[in-house]
Amino acid sequence: MVDDGLLDELAGEYVLGTLDGEARERFESRLSIDGDAQRAVAQWESRLSPLVEPVPTLHPSGEVWTALKAHLEDEPFPGVVTLREGEGAWTEHAPGITIKTFHVDRETGMTSLLMRMEPGSHYASHGHTGDEECLMLSGEVSFGDLTLRAGDYHLAPKGMVHAEAYSATGALSLHQDARALGPRQPTVMAPGPQLSRNALSTLSHGSTLGLTGTQIAEPGRTLRRKIAREGK
């Protein structure tokens, strides 16, 4: 014999679908012949039936849906940072050149940023104290004979000297740089103390030595020899 309290509990679990395995099989066998079990199941079905009745569809107002959608889009995953187009501040990096910084890793110094060059802008010859990656998004930028266009990838390794950059069309590029941001200073890849002012000027502008942008960018033996000869 099963007391009324346990019978009601079994009937409730049976109706909810949480009674399983051998216990369910035994209850179903009893249900076919036991009027008390049948009445207990009927009572539970009556109690729970309103919960399974169709619920009319409710459509949120335009204001509610807009607010909900904005909340979901702003932070779909905890810890993720999303910066929308038009967000973030542009700061002047040089005349006609602005940057928008996305992220700076305080431990490694790795910085992700956008660089925007206005048509006709120049960027002085500069060295790299860490690797810098660049992906051209639009426009063109030239380093002597080397011209980068939309879709081009460019890696400037640590120690490399870039010739002066020039954009006739204007340009937008994405950069990742493993060093702290700041105004770039020209870097000479050669013994410095004995170099004349003329030699330094030659390296910064490139054309006097008759070197291409690619040759200037390579801190190789040929470049050092030509600089040394010019500095005597």
pLDDT in tens, 82-96: 888 888 899 998 999
Quote the tokens at residue 38: 């049948």
- The answer to whether the beta carbons of residues 13 and 48 sit under 8 Å apart is no
Domains of the chain: residue spans and CATH: 4-52 (no CATH), 99-231 (2.60.120.10)
- The answer to whether the beta carbons of residues 146 and 211 sit under 8 Å apart is no
pLDDT in tens, 50-82: 776 777 777 878 888 888 777 766 666 667 778
Mark the ranges of the chain whose per-residue pLDDT is less than 70: 1-2, 52, 72-78, 179-232
